[in-house]
Amino acid sequence: MKTWQMIKLGLILAIYTTVGCVGLAFVYNSTSKTIAARQAADLQSALRDVFPSATRFTPTDKVVSSSSAVVFQSAYMAEGSSGPLGIAVQVQGSSYGGATVLLVGVSTDGTITGVKVIENKDTPGLGANAANPSYYVDRATKTTFPGQFTGKKVTDPFIVKEDVIPITSATITSRAITNLVRIVGKAASDALGIGTTAQGPKAVLPEADAVRASAKAVSSSAPGVTILETSIGTKAGAIIGAAATAKAKGYDGEITVLVGVSTDGTITGVQVLECTDSLGGSILAPTFAQQFTGKKAGMSLEVGTNVDAVSGATFSSKGATALVKATADALFKALSGGGL
């Protein structure tokens, strides 16, 4: 009796769910085409917004995301009447309230041509202002939050509260969007063949008049630190310092730095070349790397005591500091031991 009752109830529930599903299937069928058409039209109009003079958009797979947390959903090569204009990337990353989708346009000269917020699920009235066309970060010039990226160079630091004006009370949204724009800018400029970091070891060895690659490899004793390339700086034929690029794990990505050390162990220059941490992009700012100049190899470098962390990226700052120290120590050891 009980079993029979249970089967009966199950069947009744099944009937209700079936009717519900059939009803939904009908509604889905009648609306899915309209929804798809609307989304395609949205994308087209957004593409046209970032590249107004383009005549044709062709899908491309040349752009690759440098971070696993950031997904490039689609990328388009914008072509005008006189050749390629740039690349537009539809990118998805996480923000305060879930996934955020942007369309970012990068022109062939390394300028951001426009940023459109396609999808944003952040708090209405706060983070959602990123997509609000009448929310201005600068009321005087009527600049919206995504609007302020237009015209910026991909080599700019992209740091919220420095060269990017945040949305009031929505710092996390502002950082997430800025980070996505920066990553797309870098990936697109790499794909377009306009390198963003082409200065090389000479930049961190200002005293040297010639820089050559080292014949011997330098390795660091610190765990997790990989030294990629070593070069020697000379002045009038004598070795005055060495530089190396090194890589280590950051918070959830990888950090690459370029460190220059003189023969007396003074750090002559540091550049943070790459940081794929999800919120660590702000340590790419030159102001962070400049702190190391003049410090000695062998001395302790610690965030909070003699190195200032970049706010919002403490873990990445700590990681980069340890990496700089390990690299400088290894270089100094090699220099003083004559191992180069």
| Footprint of other proteins (CB under 8 A) | 9, 12-13, 16-17, 20, 23-24, 27-28, 31-32, 34-35, 38, 42, 97-98, 119, 121, 123-126, 128, 131, 134, 139, 168-169
Phi, psi at residue 160, to the nearest 5°?
-65, 140
**If DSSP codes are grouped into helix, strand and coil, which group holds residue 273?**
strand
Question: Which residue lies nearer to other proteins by CB, 129 or 282?
Answer: 129
Residue in 274, 276, 265, 270 with CA at minimum distance from that of residue 307:
270
Question: Which residue lies nearer to other proteins by CB, 119 or 229?
Answer: 119
Closest CB 165 distance from other proteins, rounded Å: 16
Question: Which residue lies nearer to other proteins by CB, 14 or 217?
Answer: 14
Q: Which residues, in sequence order, are bridge partners of residue 275? A: 255
Closest CB 13 distance from other proteins, rounded Å: 5
Q: Could you tell me the two tokens for 27?
A: 């509604």
Closest CB 122 distance from other proteins, rounded Å: 8
- Answer yes or no: are the C-beta atoms of 53 and 80 closer than 8 Å: yes
Q: Could you tell me the two tokens for 129?
A: 């202002």
Residue in 233, 321, 230 with CA at minimum distance from that of residue 270:
321
Residue in 122, 124, 106, 125 with CA at minimum distance from that of residue 114:
106
Question: Which residue lies nearer to other proteins by CB, 37 or 210?
Answer: 37
Chain-centroid distance, C-alpha 7: 56
Closest CB 149 distance from other proteins, rounded Å: 21
Question: Which residue lies nearer to other proteins by CB, 3 or 300?
Answer: 3
Question: Which residue lies nearer to other proteins by CB, 169 or 306?
Answer: 169
DSSP, res 332: H
Closest CB 16 distance from other proteins, rounded Å: 5
Closest CB 264 distance from other proteins, rounded Å: 53
Q: Give dist(CA 54, CA 293) in Å, integer.
A: 45
Question: Which residue lies nearer to other proteins by CB, 27 or 215?
Answer: 27
- Answer yes or no: are the C-beta atoms of 289 and 321 closer than 8 Å: no
DSSP, res 129: G
Closest CB 116 distance from other proteins, rounded Å: 13
Phi, psi at residue 324, to the nearest 5°?
-60, -45
Q: Give dist(CA 332, CA 322) in Å, integer.
A: 15
How many residues in the chain? 340
Question: Which residue lies nearer to other proteins by CB, 9 or 64?
Answer: 9
Buried b (16+ CB within 10 A) or exposed e, 290-321: ebbeebebeeebebeeebebbebbbbbbbbbb
Closest CB 47 distance from other proteins, rounded Å: 17
Nearby residues of 253 by Cβ (< 8 Å), 6 or more positions away:
67, 68, 275, 276, 277, 278, 280
